Structure 1
Amino acid sequence: MSRLPCALLLGMALAGCSTSGTRSDAAAAMIEPQRVSEHRGSDDLLTAGLGLDGVRAMTPPAFADAARPTPAELRRRAIWNNWRGIADLSPSGGYGQVYGSTAAVPGREFSALATLPGASQPHRMMVQVPDGFDLAKRCVVVTASSGSRGIYGSIAVAGAWGLPNGCAVAYTDKGAGSDYFDLDTQSGSREDGTTGQLDGGGLAFVPDAPLGATGVAVKHAHSKDNPEADWGRHVKQAAEFALAALDRAFPDAAPFRFDNTRVIAVGVSNGGAAVLRAAELEGTGADAGWLDAVVAGEPNVLVEGHGGRPAYDYGTEAALLMPCALLHLPAESLPQPPLRAQAEPLWAARCASLKAAGLVEGDNLAAQAASAYQQLRGSGWTDAALTAGALSVGFDLWRAVAVTYASAYGRYGVGEHPCGFAFAAQNPDFSARAATAAERSLWWSDGSGIPPGAGVGIIDSQLAPPDFTLPGLQCLRQLQTGDSAAAVRVRQGIAATAAGLPRQGLPVVVIHGTDDGLIPQAFSSAPYVAKAQAAGRYVRYWQVRNAQHFDGFLALPAYGARYVPLLPYMYAALDRVQAYLDGNGSLPTDAVIDARPRGAGAVEAAQLAMPR
């Protein structure tokens, strides 16, 4: 069958970039920036000139021409979206007053597309170099986007700390991101985020798809690279790229090398797992100590043993059982998800469907809910995680994640999903339709990397009453529990993502909320820390009480009153790590932090109970 060609790279050939060994001048030249832009005055590095009020605004920055936004307009809107997706910017949330900074930071951005050896699709890398870069104390903060977000996905984590501290900040989308490809018009994202045609070349993602395919190809789902298996290598390549960018930015101070430039890796969620995977990577020669420290927040990390579970396993379990199980918890104990009254009938219908399928026991709703609840508790879920998980149920997040990740783990291309899922713009009845030019123009800036969102929805070929999404969810679950060829293929992809131990002597701080309902610490951070500490690795663990997974959702009153933000602890850990590397303090000790929610008031520093 005829198929589309693989993606072309911009500029120089990057496929041969080394991920280990010394950084020679020849190696540096292979990851030269392909695009350089300046950001000063009303368009800075940290907020694109929006400032705290601008990123806090409820409406996104507009385009002068909705169908043809400029690179600057796309960048500003992407930064707005990614700030709001990660940080609690509500007036009572404390950002910019109690912790964090949105102060204008002038400087330059250096960006490129690079392909890891063995991969078929490129990933985005970008380095922000502030004008106030401290040449006397060379510092790079390298980070990976949370979730499947685009290149600015970690700006509120790494940029907000690194740029004001005079460090360059290197970003990678780690092989995911919002470079969607429209199969109907054969168009996708250029390096600058604008939409371009396939025959014009220079696109950031071109899927290997059958001729005549329709709908939308999503990079994380359809790259056929299983990028999660290489998250650590993506981070290291971004750090290498940062050195090349600094050589370009400050030629009189070159060369920048790993042995003369400090590198600290930081990330949250999937980005947290990516920096932990980078911590495993050894260098040689002058690059032996390429990474100086790691701070990982709520990492989606897979560890074999110590109670570790793949996110795909507990995620598909939650997608099936949690809607029913939540009815077993007292209504007053759950934050609104956000429309509980509309959700409960759907949860009750799920209980009945599970009973009919033989997946729960009980002759009435209460007994069925209790059965689903006991199954989740028996597999390691806590009441705190279940309570916070109501948010993911309310937004149908478990299904969205499972659809994309099943495709990625199995290295399935367009039209190959074993459960028949696809992506496209949708009609009101959820049927597929062609996207408009205005919709396509928003994908790069507004997409999260995992549909639905930004005008791209999930096409479920198995939708059927009475519980419309149940057949598709059962199929997704069977890829974890079954013995079909597709299930074996998906599980092999999952196995390839398992984490190893960090390099001996490397300082690592792991931070996780005790109430995390998306990546419960019992399945991720706790097993990782236990394994690493048992092996004598230099890992410290902060457990934050009353913290869940999504700081961005603390703007919802019911969540802001109940939970504390995690970002203050990320910044504090970076401060502690920096001081330690400077010889001005010790690494933090393990701590269970008794943070208190703000309730009906505003966040105050004392409520955070920051470790000393």
Structure 2
Amino acid sequence: MSDVEYGEVRITVHRGHDDLLSAGLGLAGLAGIPLLFSNPLHPAAEELRRRAIQSSWKGIADLGPLGGYGRVYGNVPDVPGREYQAFASIPGSQAPHRVLLQLPDHFDRRKRCLVVTASSGSRGVYGAIALAGAWGLPRGCAVAYTDKGAGAGYFDYADDSGVALDGRRAKRGEVALEFEPPSAAPTVGIAVKHVHSGDNPEADWGRHVIQAAQFGLAMLDRAFPDDAPFTPENTKIIAAGLSNGGGGVLQAAGLDGANFFAGVVALEPNVHTAGHGRALYDYATEAAIWLPCALNSKRFVSAPFARMPDGAPLPAWVLRCASLRARGQLGGHTMAGQSEQAYQYLRARGWTDEAMATAASSTAFDLWRTITAGYASSYLRRGIADMPCGFHYAAVGMGGLPSVTDPLTRAAWWADGSGIPPGNGIGLFGGMDVSADPALKGSECLRALWIGDDHEAQALQASIAATAVKLPRIDLPLWVVHGASDGLLPTAFSSEPYVAWLRNEGRQPLYWKAPHAQHFDAFLALPGFGERHVPLLPYGYAALDRLWAHLYEGATWPGEVSTPAARPRGTGVLEHGMLGLT
């Protein structure tokens, strides 16, 4: 493991009405409407940071009045302190990743603790604050973050601008930018770091996490020179992440050959285990084609987003069944028969009813095509002008057509963006035809990159192979937590084969398959979700609590753990007993 290489360090102080955990907003402010900027065209760095923290919380946690955050689990106390932020580089990479250390004023120098995390999805650097920050900062740990080569540092060729270290927009050549792609015509569109950097950052998620931890140690040296050096030998480093961030910390665990980490907790990880399970790109391209038809089955009639408000099938999904029949991929003369065939196809491929029912939301929101179009470009190391299958990003104008960026929207991208469009005034265009089922063409093209054997398909498959995790050291305390109802990263394709592989190789990971938990805690505020599910975050907090007790209080690390006896929330408010945690 090489030492972290980073540029200018930006140090800011956050006390009074602007703390580390909630930017002074508290739980009510985090759950409220998006913060307004004093000058929307040129928001201040402090305002962008506060709104980035707010949007990161709202994108991950259920902060609604029925969800129980701050009452049943979790808390958002005031945590004053300092932040250290920089752009760091993996050797050989073309674009940096953003690293950040949050150092609370009450950092416990007797129980030296550094939590390191990576953002979920493709979010910006605060993307894991609701997990790692919420757990670590109140107990006196420093928390190191990385955006793992993603984030919302979008580059707009229309005005040749990107995002500076402080989150504000800046022109090419003015200052160091989070992402500065090669020059191109002003009309070429909007470039996204995860998609267009040319780095295949997913293959380096583990290195990003390790560099973030090394950056954290270096900043602790800077903050407390009399107590330096801070090292893995005298500072316990706990890695925790969720979704893609969970995959990142598991990658990092596989690169740790020198007792760097004291323990790892991964929630619903996007983890690819070579020869076991299925890669996200595989089942996501499959889902984009087949799930719209399968979800027309009457067995999913009550699943949220699977039907029209009046109970009728979604027209686009009926058309998908017809399209697959016309191509000879389905038979039969009724939608019911075609839906049943699509359902049975997915069941044979490992999809469970539980995962498919929850995946109706991802299908309705077009997440499968959104994810795979961006990931395919990343895997093939494509730039903005040559994304595979004819896709490209551009600002959305009147009638949903490509247009010129709205300057107000562009100014807020770093705070509001999710890391992969569409969203925040940016659309995903291309990959369609003029048929009755226009999206199928692009989805089949993306699928062909996985199942094909031409040069382009082989290149994509090799990039995905490079994301596979390696074995962690045999004595590493490691806990995987996953929702049984996850429809985006089904347990059957991700956590379960990973845990089984570890056990076959002599490791002893702990595993919670939390009943009734799904992928997006933030979705629990949507109609039909909160009633059916429980949040996943409290199980992550509980696993981290057990790890803390083991590392600092002498508690025995359990050899195994029983599955929590969770039950759905129903129409009322969440109560502690519903989580099944003792």
- Answering whether residue 376 of structure 2 is matched by residue 401 of structure 1, we say no
- Answering whether residue 354 of structure 2 is matched by residue 379 of structure 1, we say no
Q: Of 561, 584, 596, which residue of structure 1 is paired with 2:531? A: 561
Determine the structure 2 residue equivalent to 1:429: 399
Question: Equivalent residue of 1:480, what SS?
Answer: helix
TM score, norm. by length of structure 1: 0.92
Q: Counterparts of 2:128 and 2:361 in 1: how far apart (Å)?
A: 22
Determine the structure 1 residue equivalent to 2:462: 492
Q: Counterparts of 1:394 and 1:373 in 2: how far apart (Å)?
A: 17
Change (3 A) 1:537 1:170: same
- Answering whether residue 426 of structure 2 is matched by residue 451 of structure 1, we say no
Q: Counterparts of 1:374 and 1:82 in 2: how far apart (Å)?
A: 38
CA contact (8 A) 2:95 2:197 kept: yes
Structure 2 residue identity aligned to 1:553: F
The sequence identity of aligned pairs, in percent, is: 52
- Answering whether residue 29 of structure 2 is matched by residue 54 of structure 1, we say yes
CA contact (8 A) 1:338 1:391 kept: no
Determine the structure 1 residue equivalent to 2:50: 76
Equivalent residues in 2 for 1:50-199, closer than 5 Å: 50-57=25-32, 59-199=33-173
Change (3 A) 1:110 1:509: same
Q: Of 586, 589, 600, which residue of structure 1 is paired with 2:571? A: 600
- How far 1:214 sits from its partner (Å)? 1.7
Q: Counterparts of 1:318 and 1:550 in 2: how far apart (Å)?
A: 18
Equivalent residues in 2 for 1:256-271, closer than 5 Å: 256-271=230-245
- How far 1:34 sits from its partner (Å)? 1.0
Summarize deviations over 1:333-391 as a string: whole Å, max 9, x none. Answer: 31235855587111111111111122222222111111111111010000000000011
Q: Counterparts of 2:364 and 2:376 in 1: how far apart (Å)?
A: 21
Q: Counterparts of 1:290 and 1:32 in 2: how far apart (Å)?
A: 24
Summarize deviations over 1:400-449 as a string: whole Å, max 9, x none. Answer: 00111000111111111120111011124332112021121121111001
Change (3 A) 1:111 1:217: same
- How far 1:331 sits from its partner (Å)? 4.8
CA contact (8 A) 2:295 2:306 kept: no
- How far 1:31 sits from its partner (Å)? 4.1
Determine the structure 2 residue equivalent to 1:7: none
Q: Counterparts of 2:404 and 2:318 in 1: how far apart (Å)?
A: 35
Change (3 A) 1:545 1:443: same
Determine the structure 1 residue equivalent to 2:196: 222
Q: Counterparts of 2:106 and 2:313 in 1: how far apart (Å)?
A: 50
Structure 2 residue identity aligned to 1:607: M
Summarize deviations over 1:257-298 as a string: whole Å, max 9, x none. Answer: 111111000001000000000101135xxxx21111000000
Question: Equivalent residue of 1:280, what SS?
Answer: helix
Equivalent residues in 2 for 1:349-364, closer than 5 Å: 349-364=319-334
Q: Counterparts of 1:354 and 1:597 in 2: how far apart (Å)?
A: 36
Change (3 A) 1:418 1:32: closer
Structure 2 residue identity aligned to 1:44: D
Give structure 1 stretches of 5+ with no counterpart.
1-18, 21-26
- How far 1:582 sits from its partner (Å)? 2.1
Structure 2 residue identity aligned to 1:561: E
- How far 1:312 sits from its partner (Å)? 0.3
Structure 2 residue identity aligned to 1:85: G
Change (3 A) 1:329 1:253: farther
Q: Of 279, 286, 289, which residue of structure 2 is paired with 1:317? A: 286
CA contact (8 A) 1:158 1:266 kept: yes
Q: Of 303, 314, 337, which residue of structure 2 is paired with 1:367? A: 337
Determine the structure 2 residue equivalent to 1:8: none
Equivalent residues in 2 for 1:291-306, closer than 5 Å: 291-306=261-276
- How far 1:213 sits from its partner (Å)? 5.2
- How far 1:557 sits from its partner (Å)? 3.3
Question: Equivalent residue of 2:173, what SS?
Answer: helix
- How far 1:46 sits from its partner (Å)? 0.4
Determine the structure 1 residue equivalent to 2:513: 543
- How far 1:246 sits from its partner (Å)? 0.8
- How far 1:149 sits from its partner (Å)? 0.3
Question: Equivalent residue of 1:592, what SS?
Answer: coil
Equivalent residues in 2 for 1:272-311, closer than 5 Å: 272-283=246-257, 288-306=258-276, 308-311=277-280
- How far 1:506 sits from its partner (Å)? 0.6
Question: Equivalent residue of 2:382, what SS?
Answer: coil
Determine the structure 2 residue equivalent to 1:571: 541
- How far 1:32 sits from its partner (Å)? 7.0
Summarize deviations over 1:540-565 as a string: whole Å, max 9, x none. Answer: 11110111100000011310000010
Question: Equivalent residue of 2:345, what SS?
Answer: helix
Question: Equivalent residue of 2:375, what SS?
Answer: helix
Q: Counterparts of 1:338 and 1:194 in 2: how far apart (Å)?
A: 42
Determine the structure 2 residue equivalent to 1:335: 304
Query: Which deviates more from structure 2 when the two are superposed, residues 247-256 or residues 521-530?
Result: 247-256
Summarize deviations over 1:463-519 as a string: whole Å, max 9, x none. Answer: 422112111111111111122222111111111111111112111000011110000
- Answering whether residue 205 of structure 2 is matched by residue 235 of structure 1, we say no
Query: Which deviates more from structure 2 when the two are superposed, residues 360-369 or residues 230-239?
Result: 360-369
CA contact (8 A) 2:189 2:384 kept: no
Summarize deviations over 1:159-210 as a string: whole Å, max 9, x none. Answer: 0000001000000000011110001111000011100000313111011354
Q: Counterparts of 2:265 and 2:8 in 1: how far apart (Å)?
A: 27
CA contact (8 A) 1:297 1:570 kept: yes
Summarize deviations over 1:195-235 as a string: whole Å, max 9, x none. Answer: 00003131110113544552100111001100000110000
CA contact (8 A) 2:209 2:248 kept: yes
Question: How big is the alpha-carbon RMSD for the aligned residues of Structure 1 and Structure 2?
Answer: 1.5
Q: Counterparts of 1:315 and 1:221 in 2: how far apart (Å)?
A: 17
Give structure 2 stretches of 5+ with no counterpart.
none
CA contact (8 A) 2:23 2:50 kept: yes
Q: Counterparts of 2:186 and 2:572 in 1: how far apart (Å)?
A: 56
Determine the structure 2 residue equivalent to 1:36: 11
- How far 1:461 sits from its partner (Å)? 4.7
Summarize deviations over 1:547-606 as a string: whole Å, max 9, x none. Answer: 110000001131000001000000000000111112432234233222111101111111
Question: Equivalent residue of 1:582, what SS?
Answer: helix
Determine the structure 2 residue equivalent to 1:244: 218
Q: Counterparts of 2:281 and 2:232 in 1: how far apart (Å)?
A: 36
CA contact (8 A) 1:215 1:433 kept: no
Question: Equivalent residue of 2:412, what SS?
Answer: helix
CA contact (8 A) 1:32 1:241 kept: no
Q: Counterparts of 2:238 and 2:404 in 1: how far apart (Å)?
A: 44
Q: Counterparts of 1:329 and 1:119 in 2: how far apart (Å)?
A: 49
Question: Equivalent residue of 2:134, what SS?
Answer: helix
Determine the structure 2 residue equivalent to 1:12: none
Question: Equivalent residue of 2:369, what SS?
Answer: helix
TM score, norm. by length of structure 2: 0.97
Structure 2 residue identity aligned to 1:364: T
Query: Which deviates more from structure 2 when the two are superposed, residues 585-594 or residues 532-541?
Result: 585-594
Structure 1 residue identity aligned to 2:271: V
